Amino acid sequence: MPYSTCGAEIAHPYQNTSRHSAAFFMPSGARLTTGRRTYSPKETKMNNKRRPITDRFWEKVESGPGCWNWMGAKSFGYGKFWTGEDSRSWAHRVSWELEHGLIPDGMSVDHICHSKACVKPAHLRLATKKQNAENLAAPYANSTTGERGVHLRRSGRYSVKVNHHGRAYRGGMYPTLEQAAAAARQLRNSLFTHNDLDRTKRSDAA
């Protein structure tokens, strides 16, 4: 959507917009023209406060057959949405609440799809912090083997360890990385409930 440089006039961003149109960003100092009058950035912000939150939210979403990506502001890859006076929330949490209602205290909203920018309600689910941490797309950055829960020992063999509710569960020693990775997945599957990627790999292998 076209916009101007500082101080110029720009077209009204909400004319002929669909429920899932792209986000609109107003440059600092620009003035918004509706056809009847011209609004300053401060007046535009006040007008946006009166618009339904669903309209303001979904117009910043790019929908499609897969993930629905947030096109507005982001932080650490997650969408950020202005919900009120000096208040911003994570966009995926707002999406879940628009679809299902308030998020219970202490619960997180987990991305089933592993895409931080996704706000598609079907790709989101409630989870505890522990369950959310189980659903990883890849090993932690400090992994030395590239496999989750697998560690290379000085002997050249691979050990398996899975942490669950503050306790370390050990899954044995293996001569190859592939064997250790398979054992680690099996151990997580016996302990975890939200490790979707592990279960997908098991199904693919079968």
Domain ranges within the chain, ordered by starting residue = 1-51, 52-127, 135-205
Q: Alpha-carbon distance 112 to 122, whole Å?
A: 9
Q: Alpha-carbon distance 188 to 202, whole Å?
A: 12
Mean pLDDT by 10 residues, the chain (206 residues): 34 32 37 41 55 91 96 96 82 96 95 97 97 92 94 97 96 97 96 92 51
Q: Specify the pTM.
A: 0.69
Say what the pLDDT of residue 202 is.
56
Q: Alpha-carbon distance 205 to 2, whole Å?
A: 49
Chain mean position to CA 26: 24
Q: Which CATH code is given to the segment(s) 135-205?
A: 3.30.730.10
